[in-house]
Amino acid sequence: MDFENFFDSALTGLQDTGNYRSFNDIERHCGNMPRASRYCVDGECRDITVWCSNDYLGMGQNPSVIKEMQYVLERCGAGSGGTRNISGTNHYHVILEKLLAKLHGKESALLFTSGYVSNWASLGTLASKIPDLIVYSDELNHASMIEGLRHSRCEKRIWKHNSPEDLERLMREDDPNAPKLVAFESVYSMDGDIAPIAAICDVADKYGAMTYLDEVHAVGMYGPHGGGIAEREGLMDRISIIEGTLGKAFGVLGGYITGSERVCDFVRSFSSGFIFTTALPPAVAAGAAESIRHLMDSGTERLRHKNRVNEVRRQLDRVGIPHLENPSHIIPVIVGDAKKCKWISDLLLDSYGIYVQPINYPTVPVGTERLRITPSPLHSDEDIRHLVSALSDIWSQCALARVAA
Ligand SMILES: *Cc1c(COP(=O)(O)O)cnc(C)c1O
C-alpha cells in the first residue's frame, strides 16, 4: 500500500469539506489576559485577543496559582517520577484528591491526567467490570464518554438529549434486575444548555441506577463554592459519580472523579487508564489545588464573568447577530456552514486580531457550524465593543442573516 498517498487523500477529503483543522500558533501573555501573540505563517508575530479559551475565569494566570506552582516546582522538581503505584504518588496529589472530594461533598476522589482520560477510563472500567451493566447515555455526551463505553463493549442505550422521559421509556423496557448506570453532562459545551439533573436522578432512582455526571464545563463556574451545577441545585448527594476537569475553569491540567470511597477505590484498582500511566507533575496538582481553594472562597471571578457574558449577549442583540439562547456562559453564534464559518474566523483573526476558533463537524452536527464565544472576567468593555463591531462588519460584508433587535 502507498501509505503516504492514503494519508494525503484522507486529508484532502477533510479540506474539501472545510473540516480540516488548522492550529493557531499562539503565545499567551501571563498577566495580560485575554491578550496573546500569534506566530503567523509569514514569520511575523501579531498581538491578538483570545475569545475562545476554556480558561473561563483566567485562573491559569492567577498570581496565587502561579506562585504555588513555582514553589512546588522548586520544592519537588518537574515530574512526578512514576505511576501512582510505583513511586509517583506525591503528597500534592493526596492533598488535591482530598480537596476534590470536599468540593463535591463526596467521600473520595481519584485523579487522572486529563478529563478525557477520567471519563474514558472510569466509564470504560465500570461498564466492562460490572456484570451485565446497561449504560444509558445522553445522545450528546462528550467523545470521551462515548469512547469509554465503546471500549467496554457494554449494553448501551442512547437517550434523547436532556429528556428524562426518553430515558424512562428506555429503562422501562429493560430487565428490572439488570444493573444500570445513567451517564450525562451538566453544561453541554457546544449549545451551552443545562441538563435537568433532578428529573434525571428521579428516573435513575426509580430504576435503581447509578448516576455519572460530567461537570467539566461547570466546575469552578457554578455553585457557591464552584462545585458545579449539582452544587448550585443542591443535588450533589444524588449523583453517584461526579467527574470534572482541572484544565478549564481551574486553569491547569488534569481530570478526576469523585464518589464513594469504594467506587473510587474500585476504579483505582481496576482501571488500566489510571494504573499504567505517569502521575501528574506535583506542581500541576498543587496549582490546581490552589485554584480550587481560591474559587471555593471567592465568588468575585464568577460574578464578573457573568457580567461579561451578559454584556456580550446584550451587544450582540443590539446589532442583531444571532446567538443561541441558553442558561450558561457559552455564547454560540451559529453560521451553519463549515467553509463560511472558517472564513469568518480567518477574517476575524487576520483583519481584526480577534481569535474565535470555528467549531465544525464532528464536534457539532453538519449545518450547525458555529463560532463559540467564551468571554472571561478579563475582557474589557473595549474588547467587547471591538468584537461586536467586527462581527457586525463581517455580517454586512457577507450578507448574513440578522435577527430583529
Ligand atoms: C473538554 C471536555 C472533557 C475533557 O476534559 P480535558 O481535561 O480537556 O481532557 C470531558 N468532557 C467534556 C464535556 C469536555 O468538554
Instruction: Identify the residue whose C-alpha is closest to ligand 1 atom 8.
Output: 115
| pTM listed for this prediction | 0.97
Q: What angle do CA 302, 304, 307 make, to 5 degrees?
A: 110
Q: What is the DSSP string of 226-272?
A: S--HHHHTT-GGG-SEEEEESSSTT-S--EEEEE-HHHHHHHHHH-H
What single-letter DSSP state applies at residue 278?
B
pLDDT tens readout for residues 342-376: 999 999 999 999 999 999 888 899 999 999 999 99
Beta carbon of 216 within 6 Å of any ligand 1 atom:
yes
Instruction: Identify the residue whose C-alpha is closest to ligand 1 atom 7.
Output: 115
Closest approach atom of ligand 1 to CA 185 = 13
Can you tell me the mean pLDDT for 260-282? 98
Can you tell me the mean pLDDT for 256-265? 98
Say which residues have a Cβ less than 8 Å from residue 370's Cβ, sequence separation at least 6.
190, 332, 333, 334, 335, 336, 341, 358, 359, 364
pLDDT at residue 19, rounded to an integer: 82
Distances (CA, A) of 266 to 97, 99, 111, 150, 272: 15, 20, 13, 20, 12
pLDDT tens readout for residues 71-83: 999 999 999 999 9
* pLDDT band with cut points at 50, 70 and 90 for residue 295: very high
Beta carbon of 142 within 6 Å of any ligand 1 atom:
yes
The β-bridge partners of 234 are none
The β-bridge partners of 245 are 255
Residue carrying C-alpha cell 481584526: 352
Is 90 exceeded by the pLDDT of residue 400? no
**Residues 56, 305 contacting (CB under 8 angstroms):** yes
CA 33–ligand 1 middle distance (angstroms): 22
- Give the Cα separation of 45 and 281 in Å (integer): 31
pLDDT at residue 293, rounded to an integer: 98
pLDDT at residue 405, rounded to an integer: 61
